Structure formats: structure tokens, C-alpha cells
Amino acid sequence: MQKVQIGVCGFVVALLLAGPTLGQDVNQTVINCDRYAASNNDLATTAGRAGVRFKDLDTEKAKTACEAAYAANPDIARLAFQLARVEVKLGNYERARTLLEEALAKGYTLAAVELGLLYDTGRGVEADLKKALELYQLAADAGWGVAYSNIGDLYRLGLGVEKDEARALELYNQAIAKGNEAALGRKALMLAGAHQEGDDPRPVVSALLEAAIRGEAVGSAELGLAYLNGRFGLPVDPVAASVHLKRGFDAGDNFGGLYFAIIEMARWDGHFERAEQLRRALQSIVDSEDHENRGPALALLGQFGLITGLNRSQVTDLIERAAQLSPDHHIVLNSRANLLVANGDLAGADALLEKAALAQPDWAPYYARRSIIQLRLGNAEKSKELETQANNARDGQYLLQFIGG
């Protein structure tokens, strides 16, 4: 169920304190750039500071600091890299590419990872997976774990190379050995996706737990989904599911945030503070640059508005905006269906839920909601058929108890 885009872990930088020959003012400009633009993937940040995740990068502060540091210290190659990181966040891909090429030419091999990402995703250049792989390999040869992880993504998904999950697993293990925690989530996700009924679930659970214990976003969210749906021999445990989905979301996985919201909405008890916390979490996804999950987050905001008594015109606006962004997403289709039910259009709601179930055929709640609608439409036989499908569906069984007529 989990989806991950290639290369989300592509910003890594080896931060060094300014040399003793630099003056105090220059030292401070370098430290400021390090403070605001150091990657969270860095293993040696200045003065022991944790790096900043790309999604949390404050472009205004980082650009000001890194422009000054770069101008004053043209021989420190990593500053060109850090400034490029800011330019990527701002969408200034041409300048980012120029800065990355400069950093790489000066021997800063980590620039090859971010430069590879530009070719990988076609940002500011024509997409070229062969070129991306060459650049990732250059950084991997220099010992950077994130490069191994990105190459692993290519083999896992069969992008630019023949799909080879065994090779991907090998590369993820190499990345993990180099200290790249994001590879923990990639490994867990791959093992979970390859797991078949009857397979030994222990390798999957072990990988999920290792990722979650280390606070890795994707692995935490995937573990939360496993607890929600009782997968890989784990029990259905909505409390554990909610905790791990929230941890995944807090660590940067917006997909986990969507399913955390779905659980919390289902069991909302009217507590105002919890409602506000949930709205803020969903709004943060809407306000992010995560185009894949913004539409579903808007839809869930609208759906929660129906539950909490938000003005109907505001609810409609949220769900219509969601439909413009992600018209075929199953979460958006479900929220549109709920709005139609509230407006008395049962047939229209049933048609949307049918599309949602086709998009997510293992999700029990969609069949259960259709069963109720069909009963209200007078189609008892169809309602019973859908009820059976709901009871037989693999995922979302816990949520059926909250679905009523």
C-alpha cells in the first residue's frame, strides 16, 4: 500500500568547520549555512547539530546564509552544494545544476547524488536514468550510503535497469552499513511488497521493526499499516497502528499521515483538542510540496468537516479542490461519496465508492459503505453481496465497526 518516490534521500553533505586561516566573520557565515542547509542524512554535521530534512528546509534563512557563505568562501566546495540544495527546494533547477557541477568539479563527490536526482526526475534537465545511475555510482564508489540506496531504488523498481530485487536488497544493506537510515525503510517496504501468503513473515517484521526503532519514516508508517491490517503475523492493534503511523508522519512520511488521520477520524470522540491536532496535521500536508498526497489530505479535511459540523459550503470547497488535484485517488473518491450521501445523492455516492473499491480492492470499508447505501436504495441482495465482500477484504477490518447506516 505504501508508495515511495525515488531519491527522497538524495541530499547528503559532509560538513566541515571553517579552517583556522579564515577570519571569525567568515567562520560564522559558514556555520550559518551549515546550520540552515545541512542535510539530515549527514553523518558529521557542524558542532554536532542534526541536519535539516529537505521538507523542513527554511529556504529564506538558508538562502540568505548560504549565499553569503558561498560568496565569501568560493573554495569550500560543500557550500556550493548546500546552496544548490536550497535552489532545488525553490525550484531554481538551472542554477542548482550549475552549483552542483561546480561542487563536483572541485572534488565534492556528494554533489553527484543531487545532480543524479535532477536527471533521475527530469528537473531542469531531460530525464536520463542512465546518467543518473552513473552519478549515483560515482558517489557510491566514494563511499556514500545514500548513493547505494538510490541505486537500490532503480533496481527495485526496474527503472533504467532490469528489475532485480535481490540486487536491490544487497544495495540497501550496503547503504545501511554506511549509516543511511532511509535505506532501512526501502528494504522493509520491498520485503513487505514481495511477501506472499505462506511465506515466513519474520524477515519482514524484523526489517519493519529495525526501521521503526531507528525512527525511519517509511518503515514506521509501513509498520503502522501492518498493525492496522494485521499483516505479517502481527495482531490487529489500532493503538500501535496509530502510534507508528504518527511517528512515520512526524519523520516525514505524509502517506502515513493520511492513514493516521483515517484511524483518528473513525474513532473521534468529540474532543476539540484532538480535532484541532488532526486538522493541523492534515493542513501541513496540504501546505507541503508533496503533490501526491495534497489532494487526499484536502479530501480528508473535508470529510472530517462533515463529521465535526463544518459549514457545508466549506466542506464542499475542500473536497472539490481535492478532486481537482487527485480526481481518481480512492481517498478523494470516498470523501466525494460521503458528501453526496450528506446531500442525499445515494446513487451518485455508490458509483464513486465503486470506483474507489476498484482502485483499492482490498479496503473493506468501501464495500461496507456500498452495502449500506444499496440497502437504503432497496437492493437487499446487492447489499448482502457487498457485505460479504467487506468481511472478506484483507485490509481495514478494524474500521468496519465505525461504519453505520
Q: Where does 291-405 sit in CATH, by number?
A: 1.25.40.10
Measuring CA to CA, which residue among 145, 136, 119 is closest to residue 43? 145
Residue type, 309: G
Residue 51 has a pLDDT of: 76
What lies within 8 Å, CB to CB, of 360 at 6+ separation is: 330, 366
Backbone Cα Rg of the chain: 23
Instruction: Annotate the chain with three-state secondary structure.
Output: CCCCCCCCCCCCCCCCCCCCCCCHHHHHHHHHHHHHHCECCCCCCHHHCCCECHHHCCHHHHHHHHHHHHHHCCCCHHHHHHHHHHHHHHCCHHHHHHHHHHHHHCCCCCHHHHHHHHHHHCCCCCCCHHHHHHHHHHHHHCCCHHHHHHHHHHHHHCCCCCCCHHHHHHHHHHHHHCCCCHHHHHHHHHHHHHCCCCCCCHHHHHHHHHHHHCCCHHHHHHHHHHHHHCCCCCCCCHHHHHHHHHHHHHCCCHHHHHHHHHHHHHCCCCCHHHHHHHHHHHHHHHCCCCHHHHHHHHHHHHHHHHHHCCCHHHHHHHHHHHHHHCCCCHHHHHHHHHHHHHCCCHHHHHHHHHHHHHHCCCEHHHHHHHHHHHHHCCCHHHHHHHHHHHHHCCECHHHHHHCCC
Q: Could you confirm whether domain 1-179 is CATH 1.25.40.10? A: yes
Q: Cα(211)–Cα(214) distance, rounded to whole angstroms?
A: 5
pLDDT at residue 15 above 90? no
- β-sheet bridge partners, residue 395: 363
Residue 11 has a pLDDT of: 32
Cell 502517506 belongs to: 255
Q: Cα(66)–Cα(369) distance, rounded to whole angstroms?
A: 53
User: Mean pLDDT for the chain?
Assistant: 89
Q: Other CB atoms closer than 10 Å to residue 20's CB: what's the count?
A: 6
Residue 315 has a pLDDT of: 97
Q: How does residue 405 score in pLDDT terms, banded at 50, 70 and 90?
A: low
pLDDT at residue 9 above 90? no
- Return the minimum-mean-pLDDT range out of 48-62, 95-109, 186-200, 330-344: 48-62
- Return the minimum-mean-pLDDT range out of 266-270, 350-354, 369-373, 387-391: 266-270
Residue 149 has a pLDDT of: 95
Domains 1-179 and 291-405 share a fold: yes
Q: How does residue 18 score in pLDDT terms, banded at 50, 70 and 90?
A: very low
pLDDT at residue 235 above 90? yes
What lies within 8 Å, CB to CB, of 308 at 6+ separation is: 268, 275
- Classify residue 304 as exposed, middle or buried by CB count within 10 Å of its CB (0-12, 13-18, 19+): buried
Q: Other CB atoms closer than 10 Å to residue 284's CB: what's the count?
A: 15
Measuring CA to CA, which residue among 327, 320, 273, 324 is closest to residue 301? 320
Write down the domain spans for the chain.
1-179, 291-405
- Please answer whether residues 66 and 37 qualify as being in contact, where contact means their C-beta atoms are separated by less than 8 angstroms: yes
Residue 266 has a pLDDT of: 94
Residue 290 has a pLDDT of: 80
Residue 96 is placed in which grid cell? 542548482
Average pLDDT (369-387) is 97
Residue 43 has a pLDDT of: 62
**Between residues 165 and 55, which one has the greater pLDDT?**
165
Residue 348 has a pLDDT of: 98
